[in-house]
Amino acid sequence: MRLDIPQDDDARHIQREPRRGPAPELPRQEPLIEPGPLDRRVRELAARAQQPNFPEIPRRRYERNPTPDVRQPDRAPGERLVRSRHQLPHTIPGLRMHQEERQLLYETGRFRVLSLKDAAQNIYAGNEPALRSDLRFLKEQGLVSLDIVNARRDGRSRPVERLEVITLTRDGEQLARSTNQIDPGQRLYHGLVKPREAEHDSQIYRAYLKEWEKIEREGGENPRVKLDFEIKSEVQKAIHAARKVEPDRDMGEIKQQVAQEHELPFIDGQIQIPDARILHDRDQGSRTGFSDIEVATAAYRPGHLRAKAQAGFHIYASGRDAHSISARIEDEHHMLDRVLDL
């Protein structure tokens, strides 16, 4: 039912005066009924929706030593080592990493195992407490493992030394690949595979740093590292493929051909494989070069060392190992001229 209200014809033509100033505030009226549990829950959910979905994981804070890192050319002498944070992809929501942590994951993945001392010296500018603090955090996130292994005895009667080494977990390897700009040809590793060889394997990183300094001075850039694991795998696959095509072919001929294809020395019927091959670009990427490095230990026999020297590998050894090697090759001291100090 519609109710029509009669209006005066003159009232239709009355013009209202424009409103001046803000409208007066009406007195606030309290709700007649106090909010119940459902109303309070709705307000709580609305407030929670305004908060970030993944709050930042708290980090321990510490002060760094002002020691400069000589291996980072973009840092001026005496400049304070500043921590920078980078948001990770959605693999670990809310986690932020420091630049040193990203480099630690990358270098550990490239070389499979790093000694804690080498990581502190070359990545953390000698600040071991900073490294240990970050390692505790990365271990809590399931990204790295810190193990204590026995150093090589090498016939010594003194107590066995202990060595702290860092390796990546599977999640740490994936995170290192997603948070660093990695060349497609660069392989990363995870897990401690050979604890007995951990000391030797960790020295490969130290040899790489010394070799890369020379390569960089000669104009090399964009380094990639192939460890002997990867090189051996490529060689075995090539030999298997060649034998499958020509089963009656002489094995020596096959090995020699594979060695030539992979630019590896073929000495005394054996393909010589280095501990690591450092690939690098030259002339702004127009050419590719490589350098093969070998870490010699006191366990190396004279014939083994001679083959590595003939192969043209750049051989490195610690002072202790070099002393033990010299005692074994009294008649071939000239070979020690090829051994570089670690």
In the numeric block, which tokens belong to residue 219?
Answer: 């104009």
C-beta pairs of 209-215 under 8 Å, 24+ apart in sequence? 209/71, 209/122, 210/316, 210/340, 210/342, 211/278, 211/291, 211/293, 211/314, 211/316, 212/278, 215/278, 215/280, 215/289, 215/291
Q: If pLDDT is split at 50, 70 and 90, which confidence band does 338 have?
A: confident
Contact 336, 326 (CB under 8 A): yes
- pLDDT at site 181: 83
**pLDDT tier at 37, thresholds 50, 70, 90:** confident
3-state secondary structure of 333: helix
294/216 Cα distance (integer angstroms): 19
Sign of CA dihedral 226, 228, 233, 234: positive
Residue matched to tokens 């309070």: 40
Which uninterrupted H or E stretch holds 118? helix 116-122
Q: Which two tokens stand for residue 126?
A: 């000698």
**175, 105 Cβ separation under 8 angstroms:** yes
Between the two ends of the chain, the Cα-to-Cα distance in Å is 102
Please tell me which residue, 6 or 24, carries the higher pLDDT value: 24
Q: What mean pLDDT do residues 182-193 have?
A: 92
Q: Please tell me which residue, 94 or 325, carries the higher pLDDT value.
A: 325
Q: Can you give the pLDDT at residue 45?
A: 73
| Across 14-28, 52-66, 107-121, 310-324, least confident range | 52-66
pLDDT at 51 over 70: no
pLDDT in tens, 250-280: 999 999 999 999 999 999 899 999 999 999 9
H or E segment to which residue 267 belongs: strand 266-267
Tell me which residue of 24, 340, 327 sits closest to 209, measured CA to CA. 340
For residue 107, report the phi and psi dihedrals to the nearest 5 degrees. -65, -40
Question: Does residue 84 surpass a pLDDT of 70?
Answer: no
Q: Which one of 1.10.10, 3.30.450, 1.10.3470, 2.60.120 gives the CATH number of domain 81-193? A: 1.10.10
Q: What is the mean pLDDT of residues 10-33?
A: 53
Amino acid occupying residue 64: R
Average pLDDT, the chain: 80
Across 103-114, average pLDDT: 96
pLDDT digits (tens, 9 = 90+) for 136-184: 999 999 999 999 998 876 655 556 788 999 999 999 999 999 888 888 8
Higher pLDDT, 338 or 57: 338
Q: Which residue has the higher pLDDT, 286 or 118?
A: 118
Domains of the chain, by residue range, sit at 81-193, 205-342
Higher pLDDT, 304 or 110: 110
d(CA 58, CA 63): 16
Q: How confident is the model at residue 86 (pLDDT cuts 50, 70, 90)?
A: very low
Higher pLDDT, 50 or 47: 47
- The whole-angstrom separation of Cα 201 and Cα 192 is 11
Question: Average pLDDT of 316-337?
Answer: 75
User: Could you give the angle at which helices 198-217 and 99-111 cross, rounded to 10 degrees?
Assistant: 110
The count of other CB atoms within 10 Å of the CB of residue 196 is: 10
**245-268: buried (b, 16+ CB within 10 Å) or exposed (e) per residue?**
eeeeeeeeebbeebbeeeebbbee
Query: How confident is the model at residue 35, as a pLDDT?
Result: 67
Q: Which residues are bridge partners to 341 per DSSP?
A: 317
Contacts with 129 (C-beta within 8 Å, 6 or more apart), sequence order: 62
Confidence label for 305 from pLDDT (cuts 50, 70 and 90): confident
State mean pLDDT over 31-37.
64
H helical segments located in 63-115: 99-111
Residues with Cβ within 8 Å of 267's Cβ and at least 6 positions away in sequence, in order, are: 307, 310, 311
> Is pLDDT larger for residue 212 or for residue 331?
212
**pTM of whole model > 0.75?**
no
Low-confidence winner among 42-56, 105-119, 249-263 (lowest mean pLDDT): 42-56
